[in-house]
Amino acid sequence: MEETFSYISPQNNNLETFSLIWLETSLNEKKKYIDIQQRLRASINCLKIFQDSDECENYIRSISKDNRIILIINDQSGEELLVVPRIHQLRQVFSIYIYCTCEERNQQWTKTFPKVKNVGTQFDTFVNEIESNQMRSIRNKVDEPFQINIFKMNSCQDLSTTGLNGQFVYSHLLIDCLLRMESNPNDKKELIDVCKKYYDGNVSQLNILNEFEHNYSPDNAIW
């Protein structure tokens, strides 16, 4: 019986833009790559593991086009690679990495699929490349101006000047309310509990949370 495994429980939504999908049809190989998967989760928390290529494809097609998927295919029989031409054009597929024993052969046909970023026999190369890309993405986001928008973008197109002025007032009222809110001793604990639930099983992120829980003080806050 085919199995699907997820590091995000059904009641927890993925709160990040990027997610990892690992396609691995060989059940015997599953435990072999646990350490690699933990390293990947240090960069991208959401990881779903599929043993059936059709189920994997259906999942990719079902998620929002605003999401971005990094697909890792552990090719053992050649069957896993059949999914590449079927999902390559999907917007939500951001990049594809193929681990295989027939590196030279697979590098030839994957040249026609630009989203296939790497084909090889070294998982460490894949992990390092994914980590580097994620760090670059984070740095780019830090450089972007931070914006809060409580209104739907498509609802703003036909608004009059009066309506826009009203939205401006509401946004400032929201900011004013946030500034006036008094901190509660339980706020920190509640935040940590939610984060621990979300990052369950993610050793790297849980270590950061534990450090925050025991060492954080208000004078260390960025803002």
Tens place of pLDDT per residue across the chain (223 aa):
455 555 554 445 677 889 999 998 765 666 678 888 888 888 888 999 998 889 999 999 999 898 999 999 987 656 678 889 999 999 999 999 998 877 788 888 888 999 999 998 888 888 999 988 888 876 666 444 555 555 555 555 554 545 556 677 888 888 888 888 887 878 888 989 999 988 888 888 899 999 999 988 878 776 6
| CA distance readout (Å), 121 to 14, 37, 86, 99, 127 | 30, 16, 23, 6, 12
- What is the pTM (predicted TM-score) of this model? 0.69
Give the CATH fold of the 4-142 domain: Rossmann fold (3.40.50)
**77 token code pair:** 């029989």
Q: In the chain, where are the structural domains located?
A: 4-142, 185-220
Token digits of residue 63? 């998620």
Measured between alpha carbons, how far is 173 from 220 in angstroms, rounded to an integer?
28
CA angle, residues 70, 89, 100, in degrees to nearest 5: 50
Contact indicator for 75, 106 with CB cutoff of 8 Å? yes
- Residue listed under structure tokens 């609802």: 155
Burial category of 110 from C-beta neighbours within 10 Å (exposed 0-12, middle 13-18, buried 19 and up): buried
Q: Both tokens of residue 190?
A: 């509640």
